[in-house]
Amino acid sequence: MGEFLLILLIAIPLFGWLILSPIVFIWWFFDPDARDRFKERHPRVEFAVFIGAFLCICGIFFLGIERVLVFIPGHWGRYDVDGGFIATRLSIASILSLFLGFFFIVVFERFEKIRCENQRLTMIAERDKWKEELRHMSRARLKEKQGDIEAKLNDSPLKDYDEKQVLKDVLDAIEAQILLLDQQHELRDRRRRSKQ
C-alpha cells in the first residue's frame, strides 16, 4: 500500500506536468504577451514547460510514427548486450520522434524571435515617425504632446522595455525641438531689436 501511494505521489504530478506543458506552450505561441510576462517572473518554470512540451510532443510523434511504420515487420531488429530484442520499427520511430519534437520546438522558438524582432522594428519605425512629425509642430502643440506622452509613461504600466525607451526617446526629441524653437524665437527677437 505504501509503495502504491508513493508511486501515485510521483506519477500524478509527472503526468500533469507532461499533459499541461504542451498546452501552455501552444497557448504562449498564440498569446506572446502572456509568455513575456511569465518569462520575466518565472524563468525556471518556463524552462520546465519547454522540457515537458518537448517530451510530450516526442511521445505523440513516437506513437504516430510507430503506427505509420506498420509495414516494417515486427521480427526485424537486433538483440542488445543484455539479450533484449529491439525492433527496427521502434528504433526508427524513436529517432524520428526526437528529431520532429526538436524541430517543432525550434520552429516555435524561431517564430518567437521573429515576433520580438518585428515588434522592436515597429517601435523604432514609430519613434522615427513621431520624430519627423515633431519637426513640423508649433511650440504649444509640442508642449501638449509632451504632456500626453509623460502621462502615458507615468500612468500606464507598459509591458515592454523597448516601448518605454521609445517614449523616452520621443520625449527627448520633443524637448530638443522645443529648445530649438525657443532658440530660433530668441534669435528672431534679437534680429528685430538690432534692426530697430
* pTM for the model: 0.60
Are residues 78 and 86 in contact, defined by beta-carbon separation less than 8 angstroms?
yes
**163 within 8 A of 123, measured Cβ to Cβ:** yes
89-98, 133-142, 153-162: range with highest mean pLDDT: 89-98
Q: Tell whether the model's pLDDT for residue 99 goes beyond 90.
A: yes
The larger pLDDT score, comparing residue 93 to residue 151, is at 93
Residue 159 predicted with pLDDT over 60 = no
Q: What's the mean pLDDT in 17-46?
A: 84
What number of CA atoms fall less than 13 Å from residue 50's CA on the CB side?
17
Percent of the chain's residues with pLDDT above 90 = 15
Question: In the structure, what pLDDT confidence band is assigned to residue 156 with cuts at 50, 70 and 90?
Answer: low
